[in-house]
Each structure stands twice: as C-alpha cells, then as structure tokens.
Structure 1
C-alpha cells in the first residue's frame, strides 16, 4: 500500500504542528530516554525555528506526523524526530536532506549514549567535531556533529529530497 506524504515548512513564528511535534517527542522520550527537553524550552525553540514536517493524511484528511526537523537559521538542527512506525523508510534522511538543501552547513548535537542517533548521523556522513561533557541538563554528554563535505554528500541528500 502506498502512502501519500506531504511536506510542510513552518517558518519562525508559525506554531503549525507544535502540539503534534511535542507529542511525538514525548512518545520517543518515554520509550527511548532521549529528547528530554522541557515543554517551555521545546515550544520556544520550535517557534523560533524553521521546522520541516513530513505528514501522511488518511481518507478523512486527518494528519499523522511522520517526523520533523527544527532548524536554526545557520543550519543547526535543534530537534530531529521520526515516529518509530516510520523509521527505516527514509523519513530522517529526507528531513536532513531538506535542511542540507537550504543551508551551507548542517550541524547538531547528539546524546553520546544515543547509539541509534549517532549511527544514523554517521550513515548520512556527519562527522564528530567534538565531545562535550555534561552538555545536557541531566548531566548527559553530547557529541557535536557536522555534515561532512566529502564526496558531495550534501548534494546527494538534496537530490534525494527533489527525487
């Protein structure tokens, strides 16, 4: 069965999908013990960011959030979340591709203990720039990651988005 996927972009100040994004983030936090930000911090950052959103719609027009990436003006990914039921289907790659298509540089932090995220970013060509101890509010360490320039990977991600 094919699924129609809609892409939307919420510009800074646009609160479209903020509640659905919070709910997805919380579902992932409860299941995986990551994305631990408090609601006030999350919603404020969401409102100040450009947010790339991938959605499916059912026959009644109801939306289902597949994933989102909240990004600062400089290409720094504040939040990237993909609903567990859509993982492995290219949703995260597509979201990062949209960011790469619109920014000269793509960077992010990932929790040092989040092996799934680190593997995902490494697979896309991100490189660890540095390790930061006690980065997160709960004392967790992080890696600062940057999408590598080698091999035209940014261009390939952009082609994936367009294709």
Structure 2
C-alpha cells in the first residue's frame, strides 16, 4: 500500500466523505452499470453505517470504501478503477472481517467481477434472490466462509 494512502473509519451518524463516496459510486455506475442506488437511499445508508475508507493524501482522492451495517453486512463496496488490483478491496473486506463475526453482502448475478472478487476471498453463495434490486435485477446473497484460515488470511492483509 502506498505511503500516501491513509485508512479512515467514519462512524454511524457522520457524513464525512459521503460526497466523495457518492461520486465514486456514480463513476462506477456510469462505467460498469452497477451500484444503481438513488442518492437519498445511498446517503441514508451511508450515515447509518460504519464506513471504512482509503484516501490518497497526495491528491485528496477517495481510493475506495466499504459501508457496513452493525451486523457485518456490506451495503456498499467500491474501489476506484485506477486503484484496482492493488489490494484495496481485499483490505476493505479484511477491515470488516476483523471487526465483525459474520461478513455478508449481496451482488448482482450479472456482476462477474464482483462475484469473482468475493469468491476469491472465500465468500460463498447462500441463495439467489430474484428481483432483488429496484430495477428488477437479481442478486446472490453471499457470506464469508467459515473455513479455517480465511479470517486469518484476511487479517494478515491488515498487518501489511
């Protein structure tokens, strides 16, 4: 991880970095067709969550974020395209795994990149939910596996 990238945690009730998170989410929506939430829904969920963020101090740019409910459910996970492949998504999930007993999320059944990413970390599909998204899209409900070593492997990412 670059020395210029700094980790932040935003607690529930705060809207610190919400505009930058919204802008990142919208860039991803435009470019990839995923993360299609309305702004008021997004902001409300963000403010009710604990949000883990990485910010590049060199250009004051949001690298990525994970907004998480108090039960370990990841509401939003996003990493800016130019920072992908550098381990930031893994570190965000590792932060969540380090803090919560269970880590879960939903992913569009058509979002192969997200599904491949989550599977590579040990998430397993628990069920399919038809018409889950507001636009009628289907989702998989995913849970981080309980196999020995997964949490430890993710926790090791935090120590790097």
- After TM superposition, the score normalised by the length of structure 2 is 0.97
Determine the C-alpha separation between the residues in 2 that align with 1:156 and 1:64.
28
Match of 2:73 in 1: 76
The offset of 1:108, in angstroms, is: 0.1
CA offset at residue 3 of structure 1? 4.5
Quote the Cα distance in structure 1 between the aligned partners of 2:55 and 2:13: 20
> Per-residue deviation at 1:162?
2.2
Q: Secondary structure at the match of 1:93?
A: helix
Counterpart of 1:114 in structure 2 is 111
What SS is found at the alignment partner of 1:8?
A: strand
Q: Which runs of 5+ in 2 are unaligned?
A: none
In 2, Cα distance between the equivalents of 1:4 and 1:101? 23
Aligned residue for 1:22? 22
| Alignment partners' CA distance in 2, 1:102 and 1:19 | 25
Provide runs of 4+ in structure 1 moved above 3 Å.
none
Q: Distance in 1 between matches of 2:64 and 2:53?
A: 6
Give the aligned partner of residue 38 of structure 1: 38
Instruction: Give ranges in structure 1 of 5+ residues lacking alignment.
Output: none
Local SS of the residue matching 2:149? helix
CA RMSD of aligned residues (A): 0.9
Matches within 5 A, 1:10-159: 10-58=10-58, 62-159=59-156
Report how many aligned residue pairs link the two structures.
159
Provide Cα deviations, 1:109-153, integer angstroms capped at 9, x if missing partner.
000000000000000000000000000000000000000011320
